Amino acid sequence: MILVTGATGNVGRQAVFQLLAAGADVRALTRSPVSASLPEGVEVVSGDLADPASLDAALDGIESVFLVWPTLSADHAAPATIEAIAKHARRTVYVSARGVSDDLEQRPGSILGSHAHVERLIRKSGLEWTFLRPGGFAANTLMWAAQIRDSGAVRWVHGAAARALIHERDIAAVGVRALTGSGHGGATYELTGPETLTQIEQVTAIGEAIGRPVRWDELPSEVALRELVAQGMPAAMAEGILHAHAQMVTLPESVTSTVEELTGAPATSFRRWAADHADAFRPAA
């Protein structure tokens, strides 16, 4: 039995479907089982990684865990939660992040620091582990969906920042290979999409997918920072995100071949991702 956490999110939901297709017994962890909308054959259980005491039923009889962590929001519970997982499971595949290093400090409000903290706990837990370190998620561009639907434009910062965005399906595919195959214990895999595109090029690709030109309107960094904080993001996290994008203007994110090496299929292009998610960006009829 394999437990998938974050089972209703972008990556977790893909992992559920692909594990089922591989013939695995799958249990899905979610805080809201009634609205999970997961396929028949999946055992859906209630629980919250931020509340270790809520995980007993989810972990009973589990052999492996596909671990998607609610970054930052559950860090206070991470030691107890990882300990609970290690009492039941033999191995885990953890969805971490590119840029994490073994000596990275845990800094308040830092996404990479949060992932480094969880990685360290897993290393010390006795679990057999595999760490997936994907770069930018293509699904993060869904943050532009409302703007595109309403105005046909994206008003954001650092349009020249270039990333090799990865389809959530490819992250899950590597995780499923690690969970259902052998030889992945102790491995760390950096995952990216097959090409590097600027944010302006990403917006153009979305426009092509929906059959409607989409314009990029450059936003000053200080305005973007205020907007992120006003939306409830901690200032340190917002500053870190904007700083990282500023760096990618002059140092574009590099491409790895790991997805193809491990799955036997090329990583999915951003244009294909945009086509897969076109309905999210189309105006209402």
Residue with tokens 């009634």: 34
Residues 247 and 159 in one domain: yes
Alpha helices in the chain (DSSP H): 10-21, 56-59, 78-88, 111-125, 145-151, 168-180, 199-210, 221-230, 235-250, 258-263, 270-276, 278-281
Phi-psi region of 232 (alpha: psi -120 to 50; beta: other; left: phi over 0): left
Do 203 and 74 fall into the same domain?
Answer: no
116 with 6, same domain: the answer is: yes
Same domain, 276 and 160: yes
Q: In what order do the strands lie in the sheet with 26-30?
A: 43-46, 26-30, 2-4, 64-68, 91-95, 128-134, 187-191
In a domain, 49, yes or no: yes
Provide the pLDDT for residue 26: 97
What is the C-alpha to C-alpha distance for residues 109 and 229, in angstroms, rounded to an integer? 12
Q: Domain check: are 121 and 12 in the same one?
A: yes
Residues 79 and 142 in one domain: no
Instruction: Please check whether residues 98 and 143 belong to one and the same domain.
Output: no
Structural domain boundaries enclosing 115: 2-134
Tokens of 168: 């959530």
pLDDT (tens, 9 = 90+) of the chain, 285 residues, equals 999 999 999 999 999 999 999 999 999 999 988 888 999 999 999 999 999 999 999 999 999 999 999 988 899 999 999 999 999 999 999 999 999 987 766 666 688 889 999 999 999 999 999 999 999 999 999 999 999 999 999 999 999 999 999 999 999 999 999 999 999 999 999 999 999 999 999 999 999 999 999 999 999 999 999 999 999 888 888 888 899 999 999 999 999 999 999 999 999 999 999 999 999 999 876
Let me know if residue 182 belongs to a domain: no
174 located within any domain: no
Q: Do residues 21 and 47 share a domain?
A: yes
Total number of domains constituting the chain:
2
| Displacement of CA 76 from its chain's centroid (Å) | 20
Q: Looking at the structure, do residues 88 and 218 belong to the same domain, yes or no?
A: no
Q: What is the CATH number of the domain that holds 76?
A: 3.40.50.720
Q: What pTM does this model have?
A: 0.94
Single out the residue of 50, 43, 11, 9 nearest to residue 28, CA to CA.
43
Indicate if the alpha-carbon torsion angle 242, 243, 248, 254 is positive or negative. negative
Quick one: which H or E segment has residue 128? strand 128-134
Domain presence at residue 183: no
Would 172 be classed as within a structural domain?
no
| Nearest to 261, CA basis, from 199, 203, 184 | 184
Identify whether residues 10 and 128 lie together within a single domain: yes
How far, in Å, CA of 252 to CA of 47, rounded?
Answer: 39
Burial 214-229 (b: 16+ CB within 10 A, else e): bebeebeeeebbeebe
Same domain for 78 and 49:
yes
Verify that 280 and 159 share a domain, yes or no. yes
